[in-house]
């Protein structure tokens, strides 16, 4: 079963893979790591311009580590979930201090870096160093759920059963395993999408368990799309936008103007301070963090 999946998916990837900058040899392990942080919950189209600017400014971890964390938050722009910028800055510091400025090759050392979880460690080890690891993102989980388990969608959170299946499906050969990881992810991103899946273009449609079962509807809890308008996330984004544009401390009054509701605005600002994304100063001033 597994070999019947590997060959057609990898062959499809060889022909249809997008030419993305972090897949090019010149990206190096640091470029791969930056892309993995940025691509979490963010589409490729939004990541591309920020990624290019980031690597032009900070081509190595030591370059980023040498600047205040607030500069990482500023450069993150409107990618969303800006705590990722702080985590990436923390990882760059650790790489510089512990590994001589080179992204470590060892999976355990990657996992020990601040801000890096199981997925990112596996992705960097696989995509940057060609190692054999199960790389489970939302796209891969959806491909496996449909092709192997016969379900329209995977569970909301990754389960032990999914991890076991991913390891079972992993090719034995290291190079092939790394290619399979990238290919199955691309298949989920471009063909086996959450909505309007392109089964007619899928290289494994003839053996897809979900398609062969007649595409049964999802039976789990309803899958709700994330809302943004009016949420604390939106308010946090507006407050951070003011601070990113300013290169001197910002008075409270300037932040008060970005959102009409004072209780929600104060809660959002408090959350940014708690998360280390904003630094309060005496006199009611605020800035992006310097330490």
Closest of 6, 47, 58, 57 to residue 23, by C-alpha: 47
Catalytic choice (3, 36, 172, 245): 36
Q: Any bridge partners for residue 285, and if so which?
A: 251, 281
Q: Give the C-alpha separation, 221 to 156, whole Å.
A: 9
**249 in Cβ contact with 286 (< 8 Å):** yes
Task: Judge whether 95 and 104 are in contact, CB under 8 Å.
Answer: yes
Structure letter (DSSP) for residue 224: P
Token pair recorded at residue 286 = 């605020």
Tokens of 69: 């964390």
Rounded CA separation 249/286 (Å):
5
* Contact partners, residue 233, CB within 8 Å, separation at least 6: 80
Tell me the H-state helices in 218-280. 232-245, 252-256, 262-274
Query: Of 210, 198, 206, which is closest to residue 4 (Cα–Cα)?
Result: 206
* Catalytic (active site) residue 261: no
Separation CA 146–CA 104 (nearest Å) = 34
Other Cβ atoms closer than 10 A to 8: 17
Question: Collapsing DSSP states into helix, strand and coil, what is residue 206?
Answer: helix
Catalytic (active-site) positions: 36
């Amino acid at each position: 079963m597994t070999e019947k999946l590997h060959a057609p998916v990898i062959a499809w990837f060889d022909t249809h893979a997008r030419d993305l900058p972090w897949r090019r040899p010149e990206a190096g392990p640091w470029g791969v790591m930056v892309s993995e942080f940025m691509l979490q919950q963010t589409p490729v189209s939004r990541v591309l311009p920020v990624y290019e600017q980031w690597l032009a400014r900070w081509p190595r971890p030591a370059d980023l580590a040498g600047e205040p964390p607030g500069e990482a938050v500023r450069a993150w722009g409107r990618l969303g979930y800006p705590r990722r910028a702080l985590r990436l800055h923390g990882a760059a510091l650790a790489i510089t201090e512990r590994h001589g400025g080179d992204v470590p090759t060892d999976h355990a050392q990657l996992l020990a870096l601040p801000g890096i979880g199981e997925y990112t460690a596996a992705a960097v080890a696989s995509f940057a160093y060609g190692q054999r690891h199960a790389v489970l993102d939302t796209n891969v989980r959806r491909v496996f759920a449909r092709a192997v388990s016969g379900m329209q969608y995977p569970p909301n959170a990754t389960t032990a059963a999914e991890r076991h299946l991913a390891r079972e499906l992993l090719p034995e050969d290291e190079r092939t395993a790394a290619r399979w990881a990238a290919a199955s992810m691309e298949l989920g991103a471009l063909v086996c999408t959450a909505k309007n899946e392109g089964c007619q273009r899928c290289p494994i449609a003839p053996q897809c368990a979900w398609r062969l079962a007649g595409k049964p509807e999802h039976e789990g809890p309803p899958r709700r799309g994330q809302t943004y308008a009016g949420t604390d996330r939106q308010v946090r984004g507006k407050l951070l936008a003011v601070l990113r544009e300013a290169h001197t401390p910002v008075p409270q009054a300037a932040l008060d103007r970005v959102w009409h509701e004072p209780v929600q605005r104060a809660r959002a600002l408090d959350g940014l301070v708690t998360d280390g994304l904003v630094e309060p100063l005496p006199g009611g001033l605020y800035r992006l963090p310097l330490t």
